[in-house]
């Protein structure tokens, strides 16, 4: 954040109008506009604050802002209302000067807001504590209450104060608030009964109807609907951005904080309700016998409700609206009221009721916020009074208001000039007279006791006879015609006779702020402010505590026949007191300006602002300020600000500040007439000089900035360098240390390694020796132990039981074996090799041996059996064995041959004489001789033949004759074919190409086929020169008959074929043999 040390820093336009160059109305307004556009709404003229209404909320009223402005000199920061408030508060607290803050400006220019900012600032900066906070809170909360009852929406301002307010805040010597006193001025009570177009009645009426609970409204006999009430204007009943209901809650809350009792609040609301009810009363004429009309109330319901609310007897009030009692001396005369008079009376009552209620509220608040101590108090007054008003139609109220503003302007002129003068005297500077417009002459026109306008009006009102507004105007025309600020058509001053902008029933006054045309209509009435006594008496009779207090003149015991004071008189008196009061205080001015008529932000209407600047006399104000010396500043801050412009004063000036400034100015060669030395301040005549100084300062600041920059950069570089250097040393030191450390650690660890190796080697050597030694010792011990053991065991073995087990075991086994073998011997099976029996094994563990024994036994038995055989028998068995090898399981005939011994010679060839010859033909010993059938190829029938087999050949001979039919050497035989079945067919096949083959193969049949073939085969096997004869076993084979080959096929026989084997020729090539199945 930028730090400000002077108002002159970062100014937008100029912050103080005194510095404007050149000074003209245009530059003045241009400066205001420029600042306004930058949201700089405050500008100074010396110590006066000009405030432009921004018509939008600005972030310049925060707690931080309060802190910023707190205890700072007036010109130190940008212009702000807080600077003024701070100045006023501090001079009150520290210099014991009573202060007043005068806030002036048009309606809607921001006066009330300004007064609130001042109060909240003072509240924020003054002391704290429970009691103090309570007082502060009460003072602040009096605002919403008064605003609700005294403010209304007007065309100029949605929250326009319709009363003047002056509030004295009282402080103790420490500056803590003690309490306050509020004075109110002239409430615009005509608003209660009638509002101009686009405006509203006082806020409270709308707030009550919108915000009160249904229950409260019922109690007050009110209806929420605005349109039910004559006194409420409807065309602008709601205001944009204004929440009446919420405001009502705020007001109730504020009343509670300020200290209103619940029943007091209720009474106040009842009165407000009564005013509304009163507005609804309507009258009708009723003819009387004397020819006059008398007024009567049309609808008595509202009257009844109102009387109930206020506790008034209905008939009394009703009568008061129909009759009027006039008392003169000791006489009482009662006259009737016509309808118009009744309405007049009704409105007068409403206005009075409301304005008295308002005054009562102010008093009640004062009671609450009254300072509790009697000790001396310091006072800060805040005046927020209605501004200068110029309407199309200006009446008595505007006249009074403008008079008040006229008076304020007067004291403004007086006080500013006085203050200026006093400062010059204080500072010992020569005073030069200043020309300015003094509005005292206008004040005199209005308030002069003899021929002032107010005095004329009072005179008219008191004058017996018919008094009207016109007679009053006539009077003015005659008395004031000569006055240079008074204008009227009827005045003898011919200047205005032809002025058509000035109607006949009007007069015009040239106020300091402009010309204002006043319509005289109503002046007399309003000044009289007449309330018929019957009404005030009726009110006094009410059974309602508050109403009774408000109408003390109704008390019959205190009948005062004197006319009541006129409004004008009262006002003049109170303004007089106010002025006196203000004159005793140190004034602080806030001049409010509204930038446009539209209540809009960002719009700046030159003509409107220009008008306000003119009538507020701001230009004059500046001129007065600049007449002598435009700018002044205490020596210390001045020297502090410009000391860099001169070598002697820079950077420090040792002597008094004044001398420093003198040296400085001399050095800068400022012309002597441009400044004057006061006691504590230097006075500069021309803003130009100040700007010259400022410019120089700016340049110097630039140079200084460069210098500072240069030195700072140098310093920064050097510090950086030094730091680098230092760091380098540190780094180097650290690095060296680190390197050394590392080296040392290397050496150390190497030493350790070497050491450890040596130690290890030594240790291992020692260990080996020790181990060896130990092993030797152990070996000796072991050997001796074993030796001893052996010795002992040897000696003691016989005593050991441990050996018994094995012996017992061996013995048992022996016994078992013995028993086993003995048993086996007894139960041995027969010696027959075919006996399959074998005793059961007695023990499982003997299983293998038992079987082995059985096998051995069997082999032995067989051997024994074989050894009994004779050579002959042996040969027979060998033959049988061979037969078995050849045919077992191959030919079905075989089993039947097993039981029959192979006899060989079945025909007893040697013995039978028939075969003597045959026998002799055969050279070798006949191995086999039997009768076989030779199968005929042609029919399949067999022819018996004797079959002889020797070692070398086989012979076929006729059975009967013994004649050799065929003799075939066995060498010519190639193979034998037989069937698998139980038939006896066999074919002897001859080697192709052999001598015997010419006749073809032999197909024979014999019951002893097995024997024949076996023998044939054995011969082949035994002879060395011949190959064995092949034996084909198959159910189908070929037989070579001379040329042809015939197939012999064996088929199972059917019962049809009989039980024997039958051979049939099927065709030339097939012989079919049917074999019955066994
Ligand atoms: N400083 C301000 N910041 C914001 N709005 C402001 C300021 N001053 C005035 N106003 C606006 O202008 C309106 C009229 O101001 P107010 O103080 O009631 O005028 P006055 O009392 O002069 O008639 C206010 O209701 C508010 O909206
Ligand atoms: Mg106001």
Give pLDDT tens digits for 230-289: 999 887 778 888 899 999 999 999 999 999 999 999 999 999 999 999 999 999 988 877
Nearest ligand for residue 387 CA: 1
User: pLDDT (tens digit, 9 = 90+) per residue, 369-408?
Assistant: 998 888 888 999 999 987 777 778 888 988 998 898 888 8
> CB–CB of 137/356 below 8 Å?
no
- Catalytic choice (6, 43, 53, 160): 160
- Rounded to the nearest angstrom, the distance between the alpha carbon of 114 and the centre of ligand 2 is 9
Is 160 in the active site?
yes
Tell me: pLDDT of 305 over 50.
yes
Q: Structure pTM? A: 0.63
Per-chain mean pLDDT for the chain? 87
- Rounded to the nearest angstrom, the distance between the alpha carbon of 520 and the centre of ligand 2 is 26
Give pLDDT, residue 518: 92
- Find the angle CA(575)-CA(577)-CA(579) to the nearest 5 degrees: 70
- Catalytic choice (180, 387, 452, 554): 387
Q: When comparing pLDDT for 809 and 498, which is higher?
A: 809
Give pLDDT, residue 726: 94
Q: What percent of the chain has pLDDT over 90?
A: 32
Q: When comparing pLDDT for 154 and 493, which is higher?
A: 154
Average pLDDT (148-160) is: 90
Give pLDDT, residue 1023: 67
Give pLDDT, residue 751: 95
Nearest ligand for residue 113 CA: 1
Give pLDDT, residue 3: 53
Tell me: pLDDT of 802 over 80.
no
Give pLDDT, residue 2: 46
d(CA 271, CA 210): 17
CA atoms within 13 A on the CB side of 421: 9
- Catalytic choice (108, 164, 1000, 1020): 108
Provide the residues around ligand 2 (an ion) whose CB is within 5 A.
111-112, 161
Give pLDDT, residue 914: 78
Is 387 in the active site?
yes
Binding site, annotated residues for ATP? 105-112
Average pLDDT (73-92) is: 89
Q: When comparing pLDDT for 297 and 420, which is higher?
A: 297
Tell me: pLDDT of 491 over 70.
no
d(CA 167, CA 873): 174
Phi, psi dihedral angles at 692 (to 5 degrees): -60, -45
Nearest ligand for residue 162 CA: 2
d(CA 622, CA 629): 11
Give pLDDT, residue 493: 59
Q: What is the DSSP string of 314-366?
A: HHHHHHHTTEEEEEETTEEEEEE--HHHHHHHHHHHHHHHHHHHHHHHHHHHH
Give the pair of three-digit tokens for residue 1075.
Answer: 């074999």
Tell me: pLDDT of 437 over 80.
no
The contacts of residue 559 (CB under 8 Å, 6+ apart) are 327
Determine how many CB atoms are found less than 10 A away from the CB of residue 1005: 17
User: pLDDT (tens digit, 9 = 90+) per residue, 758-788?
Assistant: 999 999 999 999 999 999 999 999 999 999 9
Q: What percent of the chain has pLDDT over 70?
A: 97
Average pLDDT (326-338) is: 78
User: pLDDT (tens digit, 9 = 90+) per residue, 170-182?
Assistant: 999 888 899 999 9
Determine how many CB atoms are found less than 10 A away from the CB of residue 995: 11
User: pLDDT (tens digit, 9 = 90+) per residue, 690-731?
Assistant: 878 888 888 888 888 898 899 999 999 999 999 999 999 999
User: pLDDT (tens digit, 9 = 90+) per residue, 543-560?
Assistant: 888 998 899 888 877 766
Cα dihedral 375, 379, 384, 388, rounded to 10, equals 120
Confidence of residue 434 (pLDDT cuts 50, 70, 90): low
- Rounded to the nearest angstrom, the distance between the alpha carbon of 866 and the centre of ligand 1 is 158
Burial (0-12, 13-18, 19+ Cβ within 10 Å), 716: exposed
Please state the atom number of ligand 1 nearest to the C-alpha of residue 387: 22
Is 876 in the active site?
no
Give the pair of three-digit tokens for residue 239.
Answer: 């205001």
User: pLDDT (tens digit, 9 = 90+) per residue, 986-1045?
Assistant: 888 888 877 777 778 888 888 888 888 888 888 876 666 656 788 888 888 888 887 788
Query: To which H or E segment does residue 1017 belong?
Result: helix 1009-1022
Average pLDDT (939-947) is: 85
Give pLDDT, residue 1: 41
Q: When comparing pLDDT for 287 and 1054, which is higher?
A: 287
Phi, psi dihedral angles at 732 (to 5 degrees): -60, -45
Tell me: pLDDT of 465 over 90.
no
Give the pair of three-digit tokens for residue 743.
Answer: 């080296």
């Amino acid at each position: 954040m930028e730090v400000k040390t002077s108002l002159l820093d970062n100014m937008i336009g100029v912050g103080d109008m005194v510095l404007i160059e050149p000074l003209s109305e245009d530059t003045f307004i241009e400066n205001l506009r420029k600042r306004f556009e930058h949201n700089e709404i405050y500008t100074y003229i010396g110590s006066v604050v000009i405030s432009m209404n921004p018509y939008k909320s600005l972030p310049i009223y925060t707690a931080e802002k309060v802190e910023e402005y707190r205890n700072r000199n007036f010109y130190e920061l940008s212009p702000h209302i807080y600077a003024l408030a701070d100045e006023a508060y501090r001079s009150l607290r520290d210099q014991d000067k009573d202060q007043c803050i005068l806030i002036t400006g048009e309606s809607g220019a921001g006066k009330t807001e300004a007064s609130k900012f001042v109060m909240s600032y003072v509240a924020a900066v003054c002391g704290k504590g429970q009691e103090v906070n309570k007082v502060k809170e009460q003072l602040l909360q009096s605002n919403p209450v008064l605003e609700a009852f005294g403010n209304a929406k007007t065309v100029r301002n949605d929250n326009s104060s319709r009363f003047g307010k002056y509030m004295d805040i009282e402080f103790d010597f420490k500056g803590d608030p003690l309490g306050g006193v509020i004075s109110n001025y002239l409430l615009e009570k005509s608003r209660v009964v009638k509002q101009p177009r686009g405006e509203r009645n006082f806020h409270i009426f709308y707030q009550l109807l919108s915000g009160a609970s249904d229950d409260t409204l019922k109690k007050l006999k009110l209806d929420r609907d605005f349109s039910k009430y004559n006194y409420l204007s409807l065309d602008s009943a709601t205001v944009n951005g204004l929440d009446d209901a919420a405001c009502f809650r705020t007001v109730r809350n504020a009343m509670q904080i300020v200290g209103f009792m619940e029943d007091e609040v209720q009474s106040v609301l009842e009165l407000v309700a009564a005013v509304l009810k009163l507005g609804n009363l309507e009258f009708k004429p009723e003819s009387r016998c004397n020819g006059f009309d008398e007024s009567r109330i049309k609808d008595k319901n509202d009257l009844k409700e109102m009387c109930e609310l206020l506790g008034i007897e209905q008939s009394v009030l009703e009568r008061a609206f129909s009759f009027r009692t006039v008392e003169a001396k000791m006489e009482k005369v009662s006259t009737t009221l016509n309808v118009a008079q009744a309405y007049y009376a009704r409105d007068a009552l409403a206005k009075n009721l409301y304005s008295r209620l308002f005054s009562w509220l102010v008093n009640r608040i004062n009671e609450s916020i009254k300072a509790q101590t009697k000790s001396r108090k310091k006072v800060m007054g805040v005046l927020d009074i209605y501004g200068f008003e110029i309407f199309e139609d200006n009446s008595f109220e505007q006249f009074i208001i403008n008079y008040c503003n006229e008076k304020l302007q007067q004291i403004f002129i007086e006080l500013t000039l006085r203050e200026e003068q006093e400062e010059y005297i204080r500072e010992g500077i020569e005073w030069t007279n200043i020309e300015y417009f003094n509005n005292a002459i206008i004040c005199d026109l209005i308030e002069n006791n003899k021929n002032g306008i107010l005095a004329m009006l009072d005179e008219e009102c008191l004058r017996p006879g018919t008094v009207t507004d016109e007679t009053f105007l006539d009077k003015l025309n005659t008395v004031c015609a000569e006055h240079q600020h008074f204008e009227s058509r009827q005045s003898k001053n011919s200047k205005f006779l032809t002025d058509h902008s000035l109607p006949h029933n009007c007069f015009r006054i040239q106020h300091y702020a402009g010309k204002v045309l006043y319509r005289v209509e109503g002046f007399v009435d309003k000044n009289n402010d007449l309330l018929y006594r019957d009404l005030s008496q009726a009110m006094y009779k009410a059974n309602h505590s508050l109403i009774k207090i408000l109408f003390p003149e109704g008390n019959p015991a205190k009948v005062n026949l004197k006319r009541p004071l006129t409004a004008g008189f009262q006002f003049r008196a109170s303004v007089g007191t106010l002025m006196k009061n203000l004159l005793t205080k140190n004034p602080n001015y806030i001049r409010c300006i509204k930038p446009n008529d539209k209540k809009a932000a960002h719009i700046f209407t030159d003509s409107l602002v220009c008008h306000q600047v003119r009538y507020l006399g701001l230009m004059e104000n500046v001129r007065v300020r600049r007449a002598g010396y435009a700018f002044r500043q205490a020596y210390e801050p001045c020297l502090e600000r410009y000391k860099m412009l001169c070598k002697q004063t820079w950077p420090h000036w040792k002597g008094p500040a004044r001398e420093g400034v003198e040296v400085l100015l001399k050095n800068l060669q400022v012309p002597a007439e441009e400044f004057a030395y006061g006691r504590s301040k230097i006075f500069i005549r021309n803003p130009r000089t100040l700007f010259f100084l400022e410019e120089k300062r700016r340049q110097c600041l630039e140079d200084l900035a460069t210098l500072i920059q240069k030195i700072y950069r140098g310093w920064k570089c050097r510090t950086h360098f030094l730091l680098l250097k230092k760091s380098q040393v540190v780094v180097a030191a650290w690095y060296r240390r680190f390197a050394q450390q590392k080296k040392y650690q290397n050496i150390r660890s190497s030493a350790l390694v070497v050491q450890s190796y040596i130690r290890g080697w030594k240790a291992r050597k020692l260990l080996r020796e020790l181990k060896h030694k130990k092993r030797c010792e152990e070996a000796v011990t072991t050997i001796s132990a074993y030796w001893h053991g052996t010795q002992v065991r040897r000696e003691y073995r016989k005593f050991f039981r441990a050996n018994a087990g094995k012996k017992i075991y061996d013995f048992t086994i022996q016994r078992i074996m013995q028993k086993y073998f003995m048993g086996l011997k007894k139960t041995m099976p027969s010696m027959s090799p075919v006996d399959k029996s074998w005793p059961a094994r007695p023990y499982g563990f003997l299983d293998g041996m038992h079987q082995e024994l059985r096998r051995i036994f069997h082999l032995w038995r067989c051997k024994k059996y074989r050894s009994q055989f004779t050579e002959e028998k042996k040969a027979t068995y060998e033959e049988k064995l061979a037969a078995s090898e050849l045919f077992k399981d191959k030919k079905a005939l075989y089993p039947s041959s097993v039981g029959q011994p192979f006899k060989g010679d079945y025909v007893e060839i040697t013995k039978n004489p028939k075969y003597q010859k045959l026998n002799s033909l055969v050279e070798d010993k006949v191995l086999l001789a039997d009768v076989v059938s030779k199968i005929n190829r042609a029919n399949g029938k067999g022819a018996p033949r004797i079959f002889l087999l020797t070692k070398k050949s086989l012979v076929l001979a006729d059975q009967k004759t013994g004649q050799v039919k065929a003799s075939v050497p066995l060498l010519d035989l190639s193979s034998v074919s037989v069937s698998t079945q139980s038939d006896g067919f066999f074919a002897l096949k001859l080697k192709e190409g052999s001598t015997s083959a010419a006749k073809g193969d032999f197909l024979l049949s014999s019951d002893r086929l097995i024997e024949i073939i076996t023998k044939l085969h054995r011969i082949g096997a035994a002879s060395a020169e011949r190959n064995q004869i092949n034996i084909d076993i198959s159910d189908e084979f070929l037989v070579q008959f001379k040329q042809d080959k015939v197939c012999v096929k064996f088929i199972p026989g059917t019962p049809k074929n009989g039980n024997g084997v039958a051979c049939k020729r099927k065709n030339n090539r097939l012989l079919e043999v049917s074999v019955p199945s066994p």
